[in-house]
Structure 1
Amino acid sequence: MSLSVAHAALSYAHGTSGTALLGETIGANLARTVARHPGREALVDVPSGRRWTYAEFGADVARLARGLLAAGVAKGDRVGIWAVNCPEWVLTQYATARIGAILVNINPAYRAHELRYVLDQAGVSLLIASLAHKTSDYRALVDGVRADCPGLRAVHYIGDPSWDDLVAGTVPGAVAEEELTSREAELSCDDPVNIQYTSGTTGFPKGATLTHHNILNNGYFVGETLGYTEHDRICLPVPFYHCFGMVMGNLAATSHGATMVVPAPSFEPAATLRAVERERCTSLYGVPTMFIAELNLPDFASYDLSTLRTGIMAGSPCPVEVMKRVVAEMNMAEVSICYGMTETSPVSTQTRRDDDVERRTGTVGRVLPHVEVKIVDPATGTTLPRGGAGELCTRGYGVMLGYWDEPDKTAEAIDAGRWMHTGDLAVMREDGYVQIVGRIKDMIIRGGENVYPREIEEFLHAHPKIADVQVVGVPDERFGEEILACVIPRDPADPPTLDDITAFCRERLAHYKIPRRLELLDTFPMTISGKVRKVELRRTYGG
């Protein structure tokens, strides 16, 4: 008895479940879904009007898989995809999984030096790319780096004859279905299937290497927690090149027979709400800044969002006021907060559909099935009592194999017990729910006082003149660090002043938590996963 009481008091939790982990490859899981729901819609691309039933989607995945085999792609070869959200992205995701290739996700916003680094570091041998995105001419950028990437032997452009040749299997010759079946028989669910480059805030990003088992199970259990069935239709304005789109979105959908809806090549708030309305979506994803943009549309009230019931808000902490509006005004009564990182496939904790408003707005949920989390003293590594702030660590099926070809950096992130150290400051409450306090490196030490930016940001989101806010510490001769509020005004013509903010905070925040500096911005610098680059805010405005 005494042992269990002491154990319960620690900041440790594991997700028990009567539902077993999936012990199959992504291709095998898709085949089961196609067999169960051949006539249901699998994929809808709103911009082009193209639609696939699961039978059609499975057939097109197989056709592309045979084309990749004909192009000489072997098990373990790295196939890069550098493209905006489109059906071809999704087909490539599943086709590479079926042949045992490792899909390398490349951010569509990358410029030449970033593209060169990823192609070379991952050893990409075949690249699938968009022709263009916004002001980027992808063909010109690829041509400019090919000389520095000797391992890159083929490039196929979506919407170009080279893509048609790849799908047709004419490069160099046709491959029979039997060869695809034979290749699949060689695969294990523990094989690497995906490399995702984490959004490094300094230096080059690192390639988190993920297996079938990692990402298929994470997508499945996120979908289970949301209550997905074959009747759900998921609007996905989040990028496929990140876990949010391809795991929490695509794999959650296909493992449940649900429909993937692509509203636009990249995020557009109006296009997103139009897609929800026209396709009768039941679920909508986004980072908080996306939901803020949708809610702030001048004609927001004109969209029929009555079919929505759930969705995911993730990527960065959700302001309480934004969550309340999403529930009340977007009909998303079962919206879920997810927390995780690319290196953990990605979700470790999630709020539940029946959670009350306080849990849904004040925490990032509790541990998912088959996952462990603990909160440790960053200096000693010892597990803290519940209620204490420390570093959040997670362990289980979702932890990556490691950073591609970087064992030293892997060892810095994953300890000998296979715990992934997140770098996030968190508190585990008595009820097991987790609150993210901030990043260890973002914590502000002002005059000896520890200040957590998240607390101040939450508070300032209730200010009527503030649409969004980020708080960072900047150098100060007297206090060591001072508090800077970077604010996007709700109305640029009537922005808040520092005096406004000071008066708003004075009676309700301790004096040392009140921002002493203010910067008014139009947008925040963002990472590929939707997190604000606070290091850039500090660097730009810390002088």
Structure 2
Amino acid sequence: MSVAVRTRLFLHSCSKRFKPRWRKYNNLSYMHQIGDEPLRYMTIGQLLENAATKYGDRASIISRGQNATMSFHELLEQADRFAAGLLALGLQRGDRVGLCLPNRYEWNVILFACIRADLILVAMNPAYQAPEIEYSINKVGMSAIVFCDNFKTQNYYELLSRICPEIRRCEAGKLQSKATPSLKAAIFISENDFKGAYNYNDIFKIGTEGGLKNIKNNQNLIKADDPTIIQFTSGTTGKPKATISSHFNMVNNSYSVAKRIELDTKHHIACLPNPLFHAFGIVINTMSALHFGTTFVIPGIGYNPNESLDAIIAEKCSILYGTPTMYVDLIDVQSKRKENINAEILVTGGALCSAHLFKNMLEVLKVKKVKSVFGQTEATAVVFHSLPDDDLYHSTATVGYIGNHIEIKVIDEKGNLVPFGKPGELCIRGYVNMLGYWDDEEKTKETISADGWLKTGDLFILEKSGYGKIVGRIKEMIIRGGENIFPKEIEDFLNTHPDVMEAHVIGVPDERLGEEVCAFVRLKEGKSLNHKEMVEFCKSNIAHFKIPKYLRVVTDLPKTASGKVQKFKLKELH
């Protein structure tokens, strides 16, 4: 029996909104947040249909980089027509379709087309190079893949031709490649046509009225427990794994997020600079927007903090989304431009956020509330998130309150529960847990135990109140001469330096002590910092053994598209 099915067998209780309803085990870090509303057994396709019925001509997406706006009704109609076209190509229910696009409105059309056609969408990073694209195709056995023609330095037809040179000699939909044997069709969003590939607009024409009718009539054949989206892990520690999520995962997690972000209070307009392919983009933004008719704005096809600020002003955005790095950049440009912005709520997630950065968010961006979300791809998206009435401490010093219908425990290296307030590995059980890693039973069993606990690899502190604090990743903990050092503590302190934009700390090999501390910092424009100055700044503020022995000043940091610093690459740079 799946975790999702077991979860729905729980008895749900009705209580005051967000009143803590949890069970705990003595004084040890275990908690079960029972929830105040029952989980919803519905598909994403049904959720979209409900949104189109209720919100109709209201703008669903505003894509400023394309000068395009799409209503909820138009989104459903285009998704269904594209879905009919995909099935007319010969794709079968359950086939995998790769989507490798930057932030364009077509991303959502294709996302929902796959969902409505009962195909499994595979979300891909548009920064992938040929070996990564080939790996992704073969990892999940894609039958079709969708690109635009180019983005930044990427020419996607050339990249695909390097992987599958046969595409230059075949008819569209009849690709047979030795390198990617499962792949039959490639689709390009372009004003040009490419040999061996379909044009995006062709897919709308291929679908018949009968096929469109079948898409609309067959939604009841799709089950909420069915797999629907594959997302690759962000690759902060090496080769990504392919996580599988169900409709049930996505619908319920996005509803919980929408309520806690307060999307139900009015018609909000949200600014989304995050990549659409990431869990933040898919769940926190796209799926959550469907529940209460939120309009979301894509500032530009690629990430640019000045374009984000322009979008916030022009579209009168009331909600801001972003990773900590994105807010560092937005604060920097707003400090220079000093624009009149009136956003109400700021939501941050995807990486650790320092108290100093929260302070700057409130002072420079002038938002009324800041909210944290915390989770991981293997847990759909969000596990802890701020409550609507949280005070400043709980909004900024914690990653939020445990989500509804979720069990949490924090364990030591032997698997024993640690006391509340002590760090250990965070484990999760509930409807949020992924169905597994695609075609990787061994890794799935390593991550999700036989009794349903998902081991996150995160060092975490659970408070008795139900709020949590992230310490860092277990693999990132530095052991210096027997002392356990958590990089986040040092990073948070270095981020308070007036000349530092962001700091990231790693452990590097040391013959005597085992590991030493190394700090990578990105400085504000025109500023400088040397090791001696950094040491003086640290003295009397953090313990001597935590003061970095090495300082590396950099202009850029290796990051995933979601804004997480790839610390394994920092080790290579050292």
- Tell me the TM-score range normalised by the shorter chain: over 0.9
Query: SS at 1:179's partner residue?
Result: helix
What pairs up with 1:221-260 in 2 under 5 angstroms?
221-229=256-264, 231-260=267-296
What pairs up with 1:289-368 in 2 under 5 angstroms?
289-297=325-333, 300-306=336-342, 308-368=343-403
Identity of aligned residues (%): 35
Tell me the residue number matched to 1:410. 444
Cα separation, 1, equivalents of 2:200 and 2:502: 44
Cα separation, 2, equivalents of 1:370 and 1:495: 49
The alignment covers a number of residue pairs equal to 534
Tell me the residue number matched to 1:390. 424
Q: Say which of 59, 64, 74 aligns to 2:82.
A: 64
Tell me the residue number matched to 1:151. 182
Tell me the residue number matched to 2:481. 447
- Asked if the contact 1:102–1:193 (Cα under 8 Å) also holds between the matched residues in 2, the reply is yes
Please report the TM-score for the alignment, with normalisation by the length of structure 1: 0.95
1:426 maps to amino acid: F
After superposing the two structures, state which structure 1 stretch, 15-24 or 242-251, moved more: 15-24
Tell me the residue number matched to 2:51. 33
Shift of 1:267: 1.0
| Gapped regions of structure 2 (runs ≥ 5) | 1-21, 165-176
Cα separation, 1, equivalents of 2:84 and 2:74: 15
Tell me the residue number matched to 2:434. 400
Cα separation, 1, equivalents of 2:298 and 2:311: 8
Cα separation, 1, equivalents of 2:348 and 2:432: 20
2:222 counterpart of 1:204: no
2:534 counterpart of 1:511: no
Cα separation, 1, equivalents of 2:388 and 2:309: 22
Q: Say which of 255, 270, 287 aligns to 2:306.
A: 270
Cα separation, 2, equivalents of 1:182 and 1:75: 15
1:479 maps to amino acid: L
- Asked if the contact 2:235–2:566 (Cα under 8 Å) also holds between the matched residues in 1, the reply is no
- Asked if the contact 2:88–2:211 (Cα under 8 Å) also holds between the matched residues in 1, the reply is no
1:153 maps to amino acid: K
Please report the TM-score for the alignment, with normalisation by the length of structure 2: 0.90
Q: 1:372-420 CA distances to partner (integer Å, 9 max, x unpaired)?
A: 221111x211111101110011111111110000000111111112111
Query: SS at 1:255's partner residue?
Result: helix
- Asked if the contact 2:227–2:247 (Cα under 8 Å) also holds between the matched residues in 1, the reply is yes
After superposing the two structures, state which structure 1 stretch, 319-328 or 265-274, moved more: 319-328
- Asked if the contact 2:258–2:284 (Cα under 8 Å) also holds between the matched residues in 1, the reply is yes
- Asked if the contact 1:220–1:256 (Cα under 8 Å) also holds between the matched residues in 2, the reply is no
Shift of 1:183: 3.3
Shift of 1:112: 0.5
Distance 1:88 1:5, change over 3 A: closer
Q: Over the residues paired in the alignment, what is the CA RMSD in angstroms?
A: 1.7
Query: SS at 2:383's partner residue?
Result: strand
Shift of 1:330: 1.5
Cα separation, 1, equivalents of 2:396 and 2:141: 42
Cα separation, 1, equivalents of 2:397 and 2:495: 14
- Asked if the contact 2:34–2:405 (Cα under 8 Å) also holds between the matched residues in 1, the reply is yes
- Asked if the contact 1:156–1:166 (Cα under 8 Å) also holds between the matched residues in 2, the reply is no
- Asked if the contact 1:68–1:169 (Cα under 8 Å) also holds between the matched residues in 2, the reply is no
- Asked if the contact 1:237–1:263 (Cα under 8 Å) also holds between the matched residues in 2, the reply is yes
Q: Say which of 14, 30, 33 aligns to 2:32.
A: 14
1:75 maps to amino acid: R
Shift of 1:328: 2.5
2:146 counterpart of 1:128: yes
